[in-house]
Every structure is written in C-alpha cells, then in structure tokens.
Structure 1
Amino acid sequence: MENLEKINQLRKIINESKKIVFFGGAGVSTESGIPDFRSANGIYSKKLNRHFSPEELISHTMYLRYPKDFYDFYKKNLIYKDAKPNFAHFYLAKLEKEGKLSAVITQNIDCLHEMAGSKNVLKVHGTIDRNICTKCGKVYNLDEFLNFCKKEEVPHCPDCGGVIKPDVTLYEEGLNMEIFSEAIRQISSADTLIIGGTSLIVYPAVSLIQYFKGKNLILINKSSTDKDYLANLVIHDKIGEVFKKL
C-alpha cells in the first residue's frame, strides 16, 4: 500500500474514532531538535578509567556513586530549554480539543506536549520540569533546578540541604505506578491506539500495547519495529510529516 493510500486510511480511521489514545517515544521530539539520548556519546570518567554509555550515565547507580558525572550528563543531554513543539505535538493537542483524543502517553521527559496545548499527558518516565528534594520533599521547577546547578555541580535544596533529584525514571528504577496504571486504563478503553516515534524496545512502557482491545492499532515510525505485525496500519515515516499530510 502506497503512503498516500495509507494517509487516507489513517484519516478515515481518525474521523470514525470516538476515543483515540496516542503513545509516543523519542521520535516525536527529535523533530523539535531533541536528539534521542542513545545517540549521545558516553563520557570518559577519570575516576574509573573508562567510558560510560548513555544508559549507564542516567542510571540510579551513577546518580548515587558519581553524582557529578550524572548531573553533568543529564544537564547537557536531556534538557533542551529552547526546543519548541512541532506539528505532531500541535496536531495531537488539536485532536484532544476536538474531543477525539483522550490522552497522550509519552516516554519523553520534555514538556513539548503541554506547550502545544495538550491537557491529559501521561509521562511514564517522568518530567524535567519537576525536581524533588530527596530530604524534605520540596518540589522545584526546571528554572529553579538549573539555577541551583549553576551554583554547584550537585544541586542542593536551599531549605534543608538535601540533594535535588530530577523526577525522571532512571535506569534501574521503577516507573510511577499511578501514572502507569492510568495509561493502562486509557489504552484499555480506547477504540484507536496510535503509536508514533518509538521503536518499541523500552520496557516496561512497551508492554502497554497488550492492554489495547480496541479496533484500530496504528504504528507510525521511521523504521520498522518487531510489533508491526500487530497493527492494522503501519506507516514508515516521521510522525510530524504524517500528521501534516492529514
């Protein structure tokens, strides 16, 4: 099936759907200039005389044992303050406003969906805009967090001196089960699930697909995934470009 024919089929499915849920990954944000952190180079640590992979650098172990290296990598590779929403973000916000889309579930930690106008955004891996003191529990936004980072390599709470940790899910950490459970609820009751910009390899987020019992499963990604066979419509293209054609 040619892409134009697939776009027409997608348009028809969206028009006929009553409850759409969107599940997105890094590919949604790369079109806004936020690279997939896996493409980032690791850094060399003199302490251990070795290079670290990006996955190691944002692990709970790294945060505990080598906090300076952790915060340095986090600030340089996961925070993009100047990034702006792209067409995919705005299109999804439009669908929500029209009453077609009930939730955006994202593996991304940026705030581009909210900036585009989406209201019900379930961020299964947390968010850069929420940073919590590990001692007193006070919450700081991104600007406050970055201001603390300018003063010291490892940010501390001015109220109690505790370390301020980004509210993002690091490797070796469990997901926020309240958000994950709501994502399951949304997917379970959707008639159409659109999955975009994700290679569907990051667990446990990818396990959300198994809860979909609706009519239309759409996969939109630049490359093929090992879940393509489950979908009744697969489009290999950038998610923003596909939505533009609608």
Structure 2
Amino acid sequence: MIKEKGKIQDNLKEQTKVLKEMIDQSHNIVFFGGAGVSTASNIPDFRSSNGLFQKKSGMTISPEEILSHTFFINHTQEFFNFYRSKMVYVDAKPNDAHLALAKWEQEGKLKAVITQNIDGLHQLAGSINVLELHGSIHRNYCMRCHQPFDLDFVVASQGIPICSSCGGIVKPDVVLYEESLDSAILEKSISAISQADVFIVGGTSLTVYPAAGLVSYYRGRKLALVNKTATPFDTKAGLTVCGNIAEVFRQVAL
C-alpha cells in the first residue's frame, strides 16, 4: 500500500511538471472550470460524496428541483430559503486555483476564464476576463423594472426580496434549471476556446450540458484536464492530472 501511494504521488509530480511546461510555453491559454475550483474555498460542489446533492435539505424534493425555474415561480419563498442557506457563501475567499489563474492573466498568458460557478471568486482574486456561464450571485435584478441590486440586498432581505422602486420580485442573475444559457456569453466562450493554444479544464466532471459540450470546440492539441476523478473526455486529452486543482495550481504557479 505504501509503495502504491508513493507511485501515485510520483505520477502527480510528473503530471504537474508537464502542465507547468505547457503553461510556461504558451501565451494563449483558456481555462474552463467547474465547482471543484471552489471547493477549496469551502463551497460544496453538487455531485461529489460531500456535495450539495448528497445532503438532506429538509425537503422532500431534490436541490435540482428547487433550483429550477418552475420551482422559483411556484414556490418563490421556499426557493429563497434554500438559495440563501445553500448557494450563497459571503465569507468565501479565493483559493490557490483562483489566484494562479489571475496571475497567469496578469502575465499575459491566460486569455479567458470560463466558469460554471456563480460565486464571483475569480473576480475577487483579480481575474478580469471571466465568462460566467451560469451567472453570478453578485448580480440581481427586479423582474418588473429591471433595477439592479447587489448581493447584500438579497442576503439582508426577509423572505422574498422585493424591489424598492416598483415592488417586483428581485431575482438572482443565475441560470436555473430549465433556463437557457446567455447566448452572448456562450458565443464568447466558444470563440475563446476555438482560438486557444492551450486549453485547461479543471474542477469539473464534464457531465452537465450544454456547458460540457464546450470542450468539443477546442481545435488544438494541448488539452489538459485537472480533476479529482475521471471525466468522459480523459481519452481525448493530451494530459490528465488527477488531483485537487487548488493544490496542483499552487505547485504549477510557484
């Protein structure tokens, strides 16, 4: 068992070295990340053994149903009760993965961060060109008059957040199940991926569509996957790194 563990560690060290070389030699990198990027910031993902979908919510329906457009419309109060307690982490801070990506962007290497996360940690770490496929908890708008509101307003509201101007419901600017992705963000993501030299995908199981389908737009030969578990695209990657993305990126960014 000890020998086997040592072998795995050696492999991870070699994989990390190859990833570092890929990044050092490129000035046209695009990163696509999922929930695993933020788990080191104590934000749970949805589908792991410790994820949100595995935890009891005190309700008889799944979190996936609660986070649907239908549930939001028909059970708005219950939606916000769940949303505030399970989807908003106001004290979360960027981890080594977020910081490394911001560093590579500042160095002119990274051209875009495409994320499925809604926590805004990439921007907090210093990244500028962030394409948020599923929106952000930091943007909220009145469904009637479209007045914008910040996260503090939603968190401080009792029950359903109501617009101070017209009395409409204030909805988080996040993509719920049954809702479509923002076409402009999707087009920018496809453009960035198709033009990338190095494409790094990390912290995602690549099982949620249409986001997972973005990988197919990559035209290069330097696809790197960094994830704790295998993904459906592992056989198509030039490099797979099996590990915690925050730890891997911390080593690469040294």
The amino acid of 2:131's aligned partner reads L
Matched, 1:91 2:100: yes
SS in structure 1 of the partner of residue 172 of structure 2: strand
* Residue of structure 2 in register with 1:74 after alignment: 83
Counterparts of 2:226 and 2:57, CA distance in 1 = 33
Match of 2:225 among 200, 215, 219: 219
The code of the aligned residue for 2:171 comes to: K
Counterpart amino acid of residue 181 in structure 2: L
SS in 2 for 1:158: coil
Deviations along 1:151-199, whole A, 9 cap, x unmatched?
x311110100000000000000000111111000100110010000000
Q: Structure 1 residue aligned with 2:57, among 17, 34, 43?
A: 43
Q: Which AA in structure 2 matches 1:125?
A: H
Instruction: Measure how far apart 1:16 and its partner are.
Output: 1.2
1:206 is aligned to 2:215: no
1:29 partner letter? S
Q: Tell me if the contact between 1:193 and 1:216 (Cα under 8 Å) persists in the aligned partners.
A: yes
- Asked if the contact 1:24–1:195 (Cα under 8 Å) also holds between the matched residues in 2, the reply is yes
- Alignment match of 1:111 (pick from 104, 116, 120): 120
Offset of residue 5 of structure 1: 1.4
Q: 1:9 to 1:63 in 2, by over 3 A?
A: same
Uncovered stretches (5+) of structure 2, i.e. residues with no partner: 1-9
1:23 equivalent among 32, 36, 40? 32
Unpaired stretches in structure 1, ≥5 consecutive residues: 46-50
Residues 191-202 of structure 1: pairs in structure 2 closer than 5 A: 191-202=197-208
Q: State the number of aligned residues.
A: 238
Percentage of pairs with the same residue? 49
Deviation at 1:215, TM superposition (A): 2.6
Alpha-carbon distance between aligned partners in 2 of 1:6 and 1:66, rounded to the nearest angstrom: 47
Worse-matched range after superposition: 190-199 or 34-43: 34-43
- State the distance in 2 between where 1:37 and 1:192 align: 27
Output the aligned Cα RMSD: 1.1
Note if contact 1:125-1:175 (Cα within 8 Å) is conserved in structure 2: yes
TM-score (norm 2): 0.91
String of CA shifts for 1:62-89, please: whole Å, max 9, x gaps: 1011111111111101100000000000
